[in-house]
Structure 1
Amino acid sequence: MPNIIYEKIEGISKITINRPEVLNAVDDITLIELEKCLEDSKKDENIRSIIITGSGRAFCVGVDLKYVKSFLEKGEKFPYGDMLRKYFHRVILSIISLPKPVIASINGVVAGAGLGIAFACDYKIASNKARFVEAFINVGLVPDSGSVYFLLKSISLPKVMEFVTLGGEIDANEAFRLGLINKLVEHEKLEEETIQIAKKYAEMPTKAIGLTKKLIYYTYHKSLEEVLEYEAYLQEIAGSTEDHIEGLKAFLEKRKPVFKGK
């Protein structure tokens, strides 16, 4: 895959958007490749956690504007709606629904639809050189790829309004203070720290994590009564897994559990 580097190491898959010459801006081909990697990581029982990152000095800056320009030069209107529905939405929903932990390793600038990809991940670790940029308004567009949805789950409405309508930028320290990311590290330590987190997740009960993800996103929208019932439903599933039995035995035997993701 020319635009993606896909690696598997000791139960971890690493997906690197590899278009550093355009700050990892993406086109339809790149998004198709990204979705294929996510699907493969989902199906591979040996993969227990997933890392998404970018090469060079950016994580992802959204759609490649040169790709947009190529349509305009042909006298065609760029199909923003179709691009979102066919490609970006599929990637975002793949990350959310993937029954394994997905880690965003944010190595630099993240902008536009790249924000949606980063925020959709379950755990966000960022370099101190990371910058979060809402640039849609600067080119006469509205935020897409779920970025406003995720922002409103983390920070206040006034702050979101300011950020998206003034074309704002949030540095790594401010992002950590606001709760947009889980961990902030020195740039030189980002890869090492990311691998440590991925390894820790890879040792966890994978199926229970997948069910917990379902529960968290279900809880966003439902009443307490509905959530309580859904919890009971998911707990029945989690309670029948091998990892639950191992966890229970390990607790009673006062030892560290060895989870297999089953």
Structure 2
Amino acid sequence: MEELVIDTQNGVRTLTLNRPERLNALNDPLRSEIERVLTEASADDDVRVVVITGKGRAFCTGLDLADLEKRSASGSSRHGRLDDLGWVGRQALGIVHCDKPVIAAINGVAAGAGFALALACDLRFMSDRARVTAGYIRRGLSPDAGMSYFLPRLVGLTRAAEMIFTGRDVYPDEAQRIGLVNDVFPDEEFHERVMEFARQLASGPPIAQTLSKRLLVQSLETDLVTLLKQEYSSITFCFGTQDVKEGIDAFLEKRNPEFRGE
């Protein structure tokens, strides 16, 4: 059974974590596949939006502890010992550096590095039967996979500290209220509602979306003057594209634009 199911339709590439018997916990093969597929999606012009979700009743419960025990028993390679990012760091960067909007479709429980996987995405939608938790503290661990970077930027430092220090569960109503997710959908409609949003996003102008994502990522660590220059450079580039001409023509002709990424 493939541990990551990949499906592309109407410009939307859906990545489904497919270890339902382990609540989609991350082992070595699945982690490597996520990293590889995100890189491919970023470079593939046929992909305009990426959706990450889980099979069964979980989104992702983080590191598979059974897999960790196996790897500990077999020892670590020299390459692994010298890796100062680890798979958790590469997972976060793979999402952030993907040039396509990435949506987390949180269909069920998301915990630890699985919650961080969702936090790294550009947009998050949650089933009304799902729940999320930092969870690390329950196992005597500190956060990884970008948790301590993304969570405070979404919900504020004080609330993030409380969620990380307690490891408590956060349910859909609270997640939406504090800005952790964009929207909550009924479980029976969840997949189709997320895909409807993703398809709408995929019909947008790809070049402008890529440049917009890059600006948003840079805005977290860039001073205002530098960002203003980057914005000006990006919008100047956009004005030279056929997509802008199509957008203006469609506006004047009172029709929906058909963006081709040209």
Query: Shorter-chain TM-score: which interval?
Result: over 0.9
Aligned to 1:8: 8
CA contact (8 A) 1:12 1:49 kept: yes
Amino acid at match of 1:191: H
1:34-78 CA distance string (max 9 Å, x none) = 12222222232222211110001111111100011224455879x
Do the aligned partners of residues 82 and 20 (structure 1) sit closer, same or farther apart at CA in structure 2, a change above 3 Å counting?
A: farther
CA contact (8 A) 1:176 1:183 kept: yes
C-alpha displacement of 1:90:
2.0
1:91-136 CA distance string (max 9 Å, x none) = 2212112121111111000010112211111111110111111111
C-alpha displacement of 1:155:
1.3
CA contact (8 A) 1:127 1:172 kept: yes
Aligned to 1:30: 30
Aligned to 1:46: 46
Aligned to 1:261: 261
Do the aligned partners of residues 82 and 104 (structure 1) sit closer, same or farther apart at CA in structure 2, a change above 3 Å counting?
A: farther
C-alpha displacement of 1:255:
2.1
Amino acid at match of 1:111: A
Aligned to 1:126: 126
1:174 and 2:161 matched: no
Do the aligned partners of residues 242 and 125 (structure 1) sit closer, same or farther apart at CA in structure 2, a change above 3 Å counting?
A: same
- Hey, what's the Cα distance between the residues in 1 that align with 2:95 and 2:75? 35
1:213 and 2:213 matched: yes
Amino acid at match of 1:221: E
CA contact (8 A) 1:105 1:124 kept: yes
Identity %: 36
Aligned to 2:65: 65
- Hey, what's the Cα distance between the residues in 2 that align with 1:10 and 1:231? 29
User: Structure 2: any 5+ residue segments left out of the alignment?
Assistant: none
- Hey, what's the Cα distance between the residues in 2 that align with 1:158 and 1:80? 34
Do the aligned partners of residues 221 and 5 (structure 1) sit closer, same or farther apart at CA in structure 2, a change above 3 Å counting?
A: same
CA contact (8 A) 1:24 1:59 kept: yes
Do the aligned partners of residues 25 and 130 (structure 1) sit closer, same or farther apart at CA in structure 2, a change above 3 Å counting?
A: same
Aligned to 1:18: 18
Amino acid at match of 1:135: G
CA contact (8 A) 2:91 2:145 kept: no
CA contact (8 A) 1:38 1:94 kept: yes
Aligned to 1:251: 251
Amino acid at match of 2:112: G
TM-score in terms of structure 1 length: 0.93
User: Structure 1: any 5+ residue segments left out of the alignment?
Assistant: none
The alignment's C-alpha RMSD in Å is 2.1
Do the aligned partners of residues 62 and 83 (structure 1) sit closer, same or farther apart at CA in structure 2, a change above 3 Å counting?
A: farther
DSSP-derived class of the 1:5 partner: strand
Amino acid at match of 2:175: A
- Hey, what's the Cα distance between the residues in 2 that align with 1:259 and 1:75? 51
Amino acid at match of 1:193: R
C-alpha displacement of 1:184:
0.3
Number of residue pairs matched? 261
Instruction: State which drifts further: 152-161 or 58-67.
Output: 152-161
